[in-house]
Amino acid sequence: MQSNQTADQESVRRVNSSLVMNALRLHAPISRAELANITKLNRSTISNIVNILIEDGMVLELDTLESKIGRPGIALALRPDGGAVIGVEIGVGFIRVILTDFVANILWRELVDYPTDKPQIEILLKAQDLIDEAIAFANKKQLRILGMGLGVPGLVDVQKGLLLFAPNLGWQDVPLRLMFGQRFHMPVYVENEANLGALGEYYFGVCRNVDNFIYISSGVGLGGGVIINGKLFKGGRGFAGEIGHIQRDPQGERCGCGRRGCWETQVGPRAVLQRVKQSIKANTGQTKPNYIQGDPEKLTFEQVVDYALKGDQLCRSAMEQVGENLGRGIADLSNIFNPQMVVIGGAFYPAREIILPVLERTIANETLPAVKQDLRVIFSEHGADANVLGAIAIVLDDILRGIALV
Ligand SMILES: [Zn+2]
């Protein structure tokens, strides 16, 4: 058994190496002196950690660098071929798998759609087939795979790697870490997809230097990830951020969670599509929009956005309604959390030019003056990749901390 003193030293080393890795991730190329300056660690600690990382093939020395603090030094950077990571997103109707190198460059990607009524086991096996392909690609390039991050649209027990409840998939109590860990023999991290989206933006996206922001994920439903002081806010048992289930209308439509009038039933893409279909059906006779050739049931959310952009009034007002309802919810969240930024990811991106003006007007009206002062609301540029990039981020984050433990 470990003595307390050894355990303490180990935890200090963990924290220190994590500081060094994160400084390298954010500021490379960077000299040892600059690393010491940024991390506030002393030079010999930096040297020890860096030496281990170089031996392990994680860090490389570049040419001499003119240091920002005066002294020239050898520039250090993470080695892109230091390892590979797999990011997986099991969404409603699709599976996305990417393979990245050690600095999160995407090396390989695959996206497959599946009908939402497929049995769970079939969907999981399909995901595993795709992961096999990613592994084969990494092997061909002689990259060692460090781990796998898995995103799902539901409540996750992160400690156990267990998907507790995903209303839009109809799944409950799925031991994903156990299943994927046994199959692939590598560390497996499971997280809620919106939390991953937030981490994706924090590490690789528009929020790299933003320590307080809210990420809103719109896939089929609506999820959220809240970053406070540079850390994902998890709440007591890790379930924080279920913003889609804030009740905004007690008499509203029934939600996947069983209650009525959740925010998701107002602005979730599936709910919006449903309402557009109903309006079209109710709109019989000569006013029926001419783009509906056959069954309105076959309409997709992407088509609704497309028609809205082309000027169709019914679809356009549906999107404007999204802007207003989204804005009201964001105003409430902003009044609570006072974020520097709100990032909207996922399905609304193509409709941003219609949604954003309405959204900004509503936020301006509904947010406390002091809170809205420096608030920025933007649409994620990562679009569909934000969540899988977040899956890569949690693996790198955790693996990198452990690496210099030797
Ligand atoms: Zn709900």
User: What is the C-alpha to C-alpha distance for residues 359 and 324, in angstroms, rounded to an integer?
Assistant: 5
DSSP lists the bridge partners of residue 112 as: 95
The Å distance, Cα 43 to ligand 1 centre, comes to 52
Distance, CA 69 to ligand 1 centroid (Å)?
53
Q: Give residues with Cβ within 8 angstroms of 242, minimum separation 6.
A: 155, 223, 224
* 162-166 and 171-174 strand pairing: antiparallel
Cα torsion at 48, 53, 54, 56 (round to 10°)? 130
Q: Compute the distance from residue 264 Cα to the ligand 1 centre, in Å.
A: 7
Task: Kindly list the strands in the beta sheet with 155-157, ordered across the sheet, starting from the edge strand earlier in the chain.
Answer: 155-157, 162-166, 171-174
Q: At what angle do helices 4-27 and 386-403 cross, to 10 degrees?
A: 130
The verdict on 326 and 222 lying in the same domain is yes
Rounded to the nearest angstrom, the distance between the alpha carbon of 250 and the centre of ligand 1 is 11
Same domain, 230 and 159: no
One-letter amino acid at 65 equals: L
CA 152/CA 96 separation, integer angstroms = 11
242 and 339 in a single domain? The answer is yes
Ligand 1 centroid to residue 251 C-alpha, Å: 13
pLDDT at residue number 22: 80
- Angstrom distance (rounded) from CA 239 to CA 218: 18
Chain centroid to Cα 75, Å, comes to 31
CATH of the domain at 118: 3.30.420.40
How remote is the CA of residue 93 from the centroid of ligand 1, in Å? 19
Taking the mean position of all CA atoms in its chain, how far away is CA 103? 17
How far does residue 78's CA lie from ligand 1's centre (Å)?
A: 43
pLDDT tens for the 406 residues of the chain, in order = 456 667 777 778 778 887 888 888 878 889 999 999 999 999 999 999 999 889 988 899 987 555 455 556 789 999 999 889 999 999 989 999 999 998 889 999 999 999 888 999 999 999 999 999 999 999 999 999 999 999 999 999 999 999 999 988 999 999 999 999 999 999 999 999 999 999 989 888 888 889 999 999 988 889 999 999 988 998 988 889 999 999 999 999 999 889 999 999 999 998 899 999 888 888 765 555 666 666 778 888 999 999 999 988 889 999 999 999 999 999 999 999 999 999 998 888 899 999 999 999 999 999 999 999 989 999 987 767 888 999 998 898 777 666 544 3
Q: Are residues 220 and 356 in the same domain?
A: yes
Task: State the distance from the centre of ligand 1 to the C-alpha of 167, rounded, in angstroms.
Answer: 9
Task: Write out the two tokens for 114.
Answer: 């599946």
CA distance between the termini of the chain: 17
Cα-to-centroid distance, 180 and ligand 1 (Å): 29
Where in 256-365 does DSSP place strands (E)? Answer: 341-346
Shared-domain flag, residues 53 and 197: no
Outline where DSSP puts E strands in 115-239.
Answer: 145-152, 155-157, 162-166, 171-174, 188-192, 213-218, 222-228, 231-232
CA pair distance 402, 406, nearest whole angstrom = 9
DSSP category for residue 255: P
Closest CA to 386 of 106, 109, 155, 194: 194
Pairing of strands 94-100, 106-113: antiparallel
Domain boundary among 55, 78, 101: 78
Q: Are residues 52 and 114 in the same domain?
A: no
Does the pTM exceed 0.75? yes
User: Do residue 348 and residue 226 come from a single domain?
Assistant: yes
The CA 227 to ligand 1 mean position distance, Å, reads 22
Please count the structural domains in the chain: 3
Q: Where are the alpha helices (DSSP H) in 148-205?
A: 176-184, 193-204
Q: Strand 84-90 and strand 145-152: pairing? A: parallel
Asked if 130 and 235 sit in the same domain, the reply is: no
CA distances from residue 7 to 4, 10, 11 in whole angstroms, order as listed = 5, 5, 6
What's the CA-to-centroid distance between 257 and ligand 1, angstroms? 4
Please give the distance, rounded to the nearest whole angstrom, from the Cα atom of residue 248 to the centre of ligand 1: 10
Its domain, for residue 68, covers 4-78
State both tokens at 321.
């309604």
**Distance from residue 256's CA to the centre of ligand 1 (Å):** 6
Tell me, what CATH number does 67's domain have?
A: 1.10.10.10
Q: Are 222 and 361 found together in one domain? A: yes
How many whole angstroms from 165 Cα to the centroid of ligand 1?
A: 12
- If asked whether residues 96 and 133 sit together in one domain, one would say yes
Residue with tokens 């309402």: 275
Residue with tokens 């003595």: 3
Residue pointed to by tokens 């209650």:
259
CA of 335 relative to ligand 1 center, distance in Å: 21
From the CA of 166, how far away is ligand 1's center (Å)?
Answer: 11
State the DSSP code for 80.
G
Beta bridge partners of 85: 100, 147
CA of 383 to the centre of ligand 1 (A): 24
- Ligand 1 center from residue 372 Cα (angstroms): 27
Whether 58 and 99 map to the same domain: the answer is no
Between the CA of 245 and the centroid of ligand 1 the distance, in Å, is 4
Q: Cα of 308 to ligand 1 centre, how many Å?
A: 27
Distance from Cα 272 to the centre of ligand 1, integer Å: 15
Say how many Å lie between the CA of residue 170 and the centre of ligand 1: 13
Q: Are residues 254 and 371 in the same domain?
A: yes
State the pairing for strand pair 145-152/188-192: parallel
